[in-house]
């Protein structure tokens, strides 16, 4: 009796995926899905990856319409890099707690307090904030972006305090001021939880996203000798995927949003990938559902618009970043 519902679910999933593909073709659309999306969304997408890798793909593909399964700032970035294309977000309410911690007005006021400083913005920011910054960065190239700034120039790094602290540590720069923003999901993966999991799994490797509140604890565990250095890696989501493909470990603990597990397990079915905090789920990312994706493809709802002046200024910040370093790879 237990097999019938599963078979029915499989048929329904196949029918839904086939309809998604049909509608995407008829709309001349490419579907992009962030690594934190629901598994069914990742599986039906043309490409999965991190936010900037997907935005760059959006600019490169021939399709006239981009359906971005992610959150609002990601779809905005795709629009900034592809102003001539239609960019659709299946739920316009899919925001970002980190992006919401800083506004364009905040950046202008902060810059006024530090004349001559260079503003470096993580891509997890709105188009309006990007337009007020000098250069953007991703979690994988943030250190290289900071190193590109002359050492005698102050840096205002925003909005993520944990990524900022990580960059300050690895570059050795003392003249970096860090905005005290945070992603509520990554901040919830704290040092106490991490230490408990590491103690319970002494042989497991550990991948930590630099946005996590536990990143400092992870490096402390290495420094104290509690965890061997070769077992701990601070990585972007794209870096995690690359490391997973090469890992020979029996088990890897993952400190990031749980949606990433789907890609890691597909990349390496032999290694067991487990979350440091199984409750680390972004409800904004999960707002993109199978039904909403289908509705967007059918009706063309959720169009992203960025005014020309804002887009032009934001585009310069993003393009400066791209010129410095390659953003973390997705699973293209």
Annotated binding site for [4Fe-4S] cluster: 96, 183, 282
Q: Which segments are annotated as binding site?
A: 34, 51, 96, 122-124, 139, 183, 209-211, 237, 282
Tell me if 286 sits within 8 A of 70, measured CB to CB: no
Q: Which segments are annotated as binding site for iminosuccinate?
A: 34, 51, 122-124, 139, 209-211, 237
Residue 25 CB burial class (10 angstroms; 0-12, 13-18, ≥19): exposed
- C-alpha separations of 211 from 51, 89, 158, 231 in Å: 14, 24, 12, 19
DSSP H or E segment with residue 259: none
Residue 252 CB burial class (10 angstroms; 0-12, 13-18, ≥19): buried
On the CB side of 53, how many CA atoms lie within 13 Å of its CA?
21
Any idea what the Cα angle at residue 45 is, between residues 39 and 48, rounded to 5°? 75
Residue written as token pair 């993952």: 254
On the CB side of 212, how many CA atoms lie within 13 Å of its CA?
32
């Amino acid at each position: 009796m237990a097999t019938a519902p599963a078979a029915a679910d499989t048929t329904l999933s196949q029918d839904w995926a086939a309809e998604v593909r049909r509608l995407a073709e008829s709309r001349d659309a490419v579907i992009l899905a962030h690594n934190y999306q629901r598994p069914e969304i990742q599986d039906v997408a043309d490409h999965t990856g991190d936010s900037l890798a997907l935005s760059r793909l959006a600019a490169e593909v021939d399709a006239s319409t981009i359906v971005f399964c992610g959150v609002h700032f990601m779809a905005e970035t795709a629009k900034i890099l592809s102003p001539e294309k239609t960019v659709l977000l299946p739920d316009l309410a899919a925001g970002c707690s980190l992006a919401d911690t800083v506004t364009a007005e905040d950046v202008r006021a902060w810059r006024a307090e530090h004349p001559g400083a260079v503003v470096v913005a993580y891509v997890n920011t709105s188009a309006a904030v990007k337009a007020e910054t000098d250069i953007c960065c991703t979690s994988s190239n943030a250190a290289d972006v900071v190193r590109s700034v002359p050492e005698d120039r102050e840096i205002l790094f925003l909005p993520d305090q944990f990524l900022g602290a990580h960059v300050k540590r690895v570059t050795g720069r003392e003249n970096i001021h860090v905005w005290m923003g945070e992603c509520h999901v990554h901040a919830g993966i704290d040092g106490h939880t991490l230490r408990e999991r590491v103690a319970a799994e002494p042989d497991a490797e550990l991948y930590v996203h630099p946005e996590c509140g536990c990143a400092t604890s992870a490096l402390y565990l290495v420094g104290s000798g509690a965890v061997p250095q070769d077992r701990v890696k601070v990585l972007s989501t794209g870096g995690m995927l690359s490391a997973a493909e090469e890992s020979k470990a029996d088990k890897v603990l993952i400190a990031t949003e749980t949606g990433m597990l789907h890609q890691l397990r597909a990349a390496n079915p032999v290694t067991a990938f487990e979350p440091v905090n199984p409750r680390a789920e972004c409800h904004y990312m999960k707002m993109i559902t199978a039904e909403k994706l289908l509705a967007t493809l059918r009706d063309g709802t959720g169009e992203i618009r960025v005014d020309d002046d804002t887009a032009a200024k934001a585009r310069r910040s993003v393009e400066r970043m791209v010129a410095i370093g390659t953003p973390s790879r997705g699973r293209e």
